Structure 1
Amino acid sequence: MAAHHDHKHDHDDAGGHSHSHAPANFGTAFAIGITLNLGFVLIEGGYGVVSNSLALIADAGHNLSDVLGLLVAWVASVLVKRPPSKQYTYGLRGSSILAALFNAVFLLVALGAVAWEAVQRLATPEPVSVGTVMVVAAVGIVINGVTAWLFATGAKDDINIRGAFMHMASDALISAGVVIAGLVIFLTGWVWLDPLVSLIISAVIVWGTWSLLRDSLAMSMGAVPSGINAAAVQTYLESVKGVSELHDLHIWPMSTTEVALTVHLVMPSGHPGDEALLEICHELEHDFKIGHATIQIETSESVRCALAPAHVV
């Protein structure tokens, strides 16, 4: 990808395009997770109505939102592998970032609905069928726990997968809280614990979801991914033999797993050769996980593009 062709000056471009950081295939995990949760939504919602448990009904609603969240994440994981086109020259890699942002926002909205219902129920506590609540919630722990486990290996490196993982882990936590609340209600008769536990768990999940929202929002705005030290990248490039100055350094996420970089390197002694540029690209990928690097060589420090400020981003 060449930068700023409107100026006539000698330049060469080197592109590193390794795909070693492409997302793993979680298609089976998505299929299993969606099937299990859709079935559980029907069972839990029905028993929630029968047992008059807000916790079960709220958890069923949250599980339904998880099904939608898993569908969105699955679609994005497929779209991200679509080849580039004339209109979408990077393919549809950015869809994974949008899916992660959607999941973060949707999870918070769903939790807000749970909290609102819990507040209303706190004002007018109602008796619940404790035994039914505990059994159904225990099944929920297993289903959500297994589904979360399916996504655990990708949750660290891919925030789209992390969004799916957060949905399932949060549901497992809510179900565990429902079991505990049911046990305490059985022993004490404190029916107000049912909505109170929903509130407490919702607050805990909101706290854990904040990082997902923050990271996905930043990535959607083209920010440097949180795992990359932009200052260290700049320091490395400035240390390359023959570089007297650099400008227009940009680092941004192409997807939730791939990072791109463009930079202008001022090398008064001239072009260092393709082998040297390939070595730079290799170092960027190996040390900083930047797999798509485009480097423009300039021989004059006075060269600046009219529309681009002389600074490093």
Structure 2
Amino acid sequence: MTHAHHGHSHGPANYGRAFAVGITLNVAFVLLELTSGFLSRSLALVADAGHNASDVLGLLISWGAYVLARRKPSARYTYGLRRSSILASLANAVLLFMAVGALLVEAVRRFGHPEPVAAGTVMWVAAVGIVINAVTAYLFASGSKHDLNLRSAFQHMAADALVSLGVVIAGALIAFTGWLWLDPTISLLVAAVILLGTWGLLRESVNLSLDAVPEGVDPGAIKAYLAALPGVVEVHDLHVWGMSTTETALTVHLVMPRGIPNDTFYTQVQHELHDEFGIEHATLQVEYGGADACRYAPDHVV
């Protein structure tokens, strides 16, 4: 039996700086939105400030997980703390759903009790939000392709930029028409955008938390590859799961009656699993088969 871990990273290494910059910008914007929202009596601004505040907390959680995931293994945490990135993604998704619930309650209440809105203030504050959220999203754009934790930060910021654009449009329409119902209506649209952007994040985070095969990894293709290896007559006890939001692990039993051809077999298989399927940490157990069949041979046995 042998195993290997092939470490590699995607995108810029200094995401710690990206988190620091993004959090600073968004804290400043939250304070600006809250102040302007209360002065202008705009639910859209106050609600969006609350949403952005939850994003600041989300960025803090993601940053903490980003740091913890890079800690070395210990005698107690033999895989290190890589899984913290999965927990952070799940926490961010839940946090956003809670924010949506609060937003929906207040929007419904405002429909029954509309209040005047300073449309000009709403427009220029939201315009600032477009810039800040777009810049923050850009900081995580490259890492979002390969890391669910960074993707959660990117999705939040990108969605907020679109939401801020919607607030600008609402402010312009209110100024032109005087229709106060547009304010809570835009708040409902904000909620819809958050839900659409968060559902996939929640689903994938829950799946990774339950040790599901990460999205984009085909266990059937992996099993077919292993079964086609020279000398392999059976593949069983195959397990593929996410060690973190960036690393995938695999364990498998290979039945090879003639034994391993040479020591380079393990190295070749592990490199090919890494290059073809993105498996970072592979553990292979070779068996001779025969009368003493492996108790884990049936697929339904764990």
How would you bin the TM-score normalised by the shorter chain? Answer: over 0.9
Aligned to 1:249: 238
CA displacement at 1:208 relative to structure 2: 2.2
1:27 is matched with which residue: 3, 13, 16?
A: 16
1:205 equivalent to 2:194? Answer yes
Query: CA 1:301–1:135 in structure 2 vs 1: closer, same or farther (change >3 Å)?
Result: farther
CA displacement at 1:248 relative to structure 2: 0.6
TM-score of the superposed pair, with normalisation by structure 1: 0.92
Aligned to 2:147: 158
Aligned pairs (5 A) from 1:92-107: 92-107=81-96
2:49 is matched with which residue: 60, 63, 71?
A: 60
Partner of 2:140, secondary structure, is helix
Partner of 2:145, secondary structure, is coil
Gaps of 5+ in 1: 1-12
Distance 2:231 2:33 in 1: 66
Higher relative contact order (CA 8 A, sep 6+): 1
Distance 1:149 1:191 in 2: 34
Q: Share of identical aligned residues, percent?
A: 58
Large movers: runs of 4+ above 6 Å: none
Distance 1:156 1:63 in 2: 23
Distance 1:74 1:47 in 2: 29
Tell me the alpha carbon deviations over residues 216-243 of structure 1, each in whole angstroms, 9 at most, x when there is no partner.
Answer: 1100110000110010000000000000
Query: CA 1:303–1:59 in structure 2 vs 1: closer, same or farther (change >3 Å)?
Result: farther
Q: Is the 8 A contact 1:21 1:258 kept in 2?
A: no
1:275 equivalent to 2:267? Answer no
TM-score of the superposed pair, with normalisation by structure 2: 0.96
CA displacement at 1:304 relative to structure 2: 4.5
Query: CA 1:17–1:91 in structure 2 vs 1: closer, same or farther (change >3 Å)?
Result: same
Aligned to 2:2: 14
Q: Is the 8 A contact 1:118 1:198 kept in 2?
A: yes
Distance 2:126 2:280 in 1: 44
Aligned to 1:260: 249
Query: CA 1:279–1:115 in structure 2 vs 1: closer, same or farther (change >3 Å)?
Result: same
Aligned to 1:10: none
Query: CA 1:302–1:129 in structure 2 vs 1: closer, same or farther (change >3 Å)?
Result: farther
1:38 equivalent to 2:38? Answer no
Distance 2:76 2:130 in 1: 45
Distance 1:303 1:76 in 2: 44
Q: How many residues align structurally?
A: 300
Letter in 2 for 1:15: H
Distance 1:119 1:140 in 2: 24
CA displacement at 1:205 relative to structure 2: 2.4
Distance 1:69 1:192 in 2: 30
Distance 1:175 1:22 in 2: 30
1:176 equivalent to 2:171? Answer no
Partner of 2:232, secondary structure, is coil
CA displacement at 1:272 relative to structure 2: 2.5
Aligned pairs (5 A) from 1:122-161: 122-161=111-150
**What's the C-alpha RMSD, in Å, of the aligned pairs?**
1.5
1:296 is matched with which residue: 267, 285, 289?
A: 285
Distance 2:291 2:99 in 1: 54
